[in-house]
């Protein structure tokens, strides 16, 4: 036990988790923005935008996240010299956020589209009938109802995003939790299983409230019809 507790003196586990929380937070915001725009494209009356939305979703949803994040580090950062900040670690952190955002935006788009499918077609027809064009109708009538119908699937995307933030190690964000776990296992091979369990438990604690919250919110905010 003393052995185990000594781990926390040597390694700053909460700080590593804090990196994942920050990665997840920013990636969630950007994924929500990009995903909403993509969903608008997919339900828009303009064929080229529909095509773009569909192409984006199919490309990013079907590419492994590891490859996207490795490309961010090796392709964007190393080869193309795209630098998002002065300091190296901040730049890598931001590139990881870009990769996580682009990847999860595809899933956000599909979650919102599933929410749009919960909105009866008559709502859009009524909006058009009073003279609203596509964007105002989407903003005022369709999306507010679609989001409320999409809370549970969006929650699932957020849960996946938090866990997937560990893949940022592939983008050389070595300070995040799974990176620290690897280091700890390397130096404390006597405690492999306790170390595993510690990180597993850490993620469970992070994720469980989100599941509870989205289940509660999707009931609370459901649109009565």
Partner 1 sequence: MTSEPRPATPASTGSPLVSLKHVNKHFGELHVLRDINLEVARGEVVVVIGPSGSGKSTLCRAINRLETIDDGEITIDGKVLPAEGKALAKLRADVGMVFQSFNLFAHKSILENVTLGPVKVKGMKSGEAKDLAMSLLKRVGVDNQAQKLPAQLSGGQQQRVAIARALAMQPKVMLFDEPTSALDPEMINEVLDAMVSLAKEGMTMIVVTHEMGFARRAADRVIFMADGQIVEQATPEEFFTNPQSERARDFLGKILSH
Residues making contact with partner 1 (CB under 8 A): 45, 120, 122-123, 125-133, 136, 140-141, 144-145, 148, 223-225
Q: How many CA atoms lie within 13 A of 115 on its CB side?
A: 30
Distance in Å, CB of 127 to partner 1, minimum: 7
Min separation Cβ 44 and partner 1, Å? 12
Determine the Cα–Cα distance for residues 96 and 102; give it in Å rounded to an integer. Answer: 10
Dump the DSSP string for 164-215: HGGGGGGGT-TTSHHHHHHHHHHH-GGGHHHHHHHHHHHHHHHHHHHHHHHH
d(CA 65, CA 20) in angstroms, rounded, equals: 15
128 vs 182, beta carbon nearer partner 1: 128
For partner 1, the closer of residues 91 and 114 by Cβ is: 114
d(CA 64, CA 82): 22
Shortest Cβ 171–partner 1 spacing (Å): 40
Q: How far is the CB of 52 from partner 1 (least distance, A)?
A: 19
* 1 SS3 class: coil
Between 116 and 159, CB nearer to partner 1:
116
Could you tell me which of 206, 217, 219 has the C-alpha nearest to residue 22?
206
When the beta carbons of 58 and 133 are compared against partner 1, the nearer one is 133
Shortest CB 42 distance to partner 1, Å: 18
Of residues 56 and 147, the one with the C-beta less far from partner 1: 147
Contacts of residue 194, Cβ cutoff 8 Å, sequence gap at least 6: 4, 7
């Amino acid at each position: 036990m003393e052995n185990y507790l000594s781990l926390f003196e040597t390694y700053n586990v909460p700080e590593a988790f804090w990196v994942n929380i920050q990665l997840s937070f920013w990636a969630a915001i950007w994924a929500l923005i990009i995903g909403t725009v993509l969903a608008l494209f997919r339900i828009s009356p303009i064929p080229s935008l529909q095509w773009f939305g569909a192409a984006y979703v199919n490309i990013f949803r079907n590419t492994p996240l590891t490859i996207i994040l490795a490309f961010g580090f090796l392709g964007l950062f190393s080869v193309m010299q795209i630098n998002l900040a002065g300091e190296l670690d901040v730049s890598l952190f931001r590139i990881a956020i870009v990769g996580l955002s682009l990847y999860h935006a595809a899933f956000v788009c599909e979650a919102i589209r599933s929410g749009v499918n919960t909105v009866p077609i008559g709502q859009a027809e009524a909006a058009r009938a009073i003279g609203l064009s596509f964007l105002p109708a989407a903003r005022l009538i369709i999306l507010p109802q679609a989001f409320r119908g999409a809370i549970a699937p969006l929650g699932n995307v957020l849960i996946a995003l938090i866990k997937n933030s560990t893949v940022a190690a592939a983008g050389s964000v070595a300070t995040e939790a799974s990176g620290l776990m690897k280091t700890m296992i390397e130096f404390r091979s006597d405690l492999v299983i306790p170390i595993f369990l510690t990180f597993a438990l850490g993620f469970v604690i992070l994720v469980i409230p989100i599941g509870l919250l989205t289940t509660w919110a999707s009931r609370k905010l459901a649109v009565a019809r």
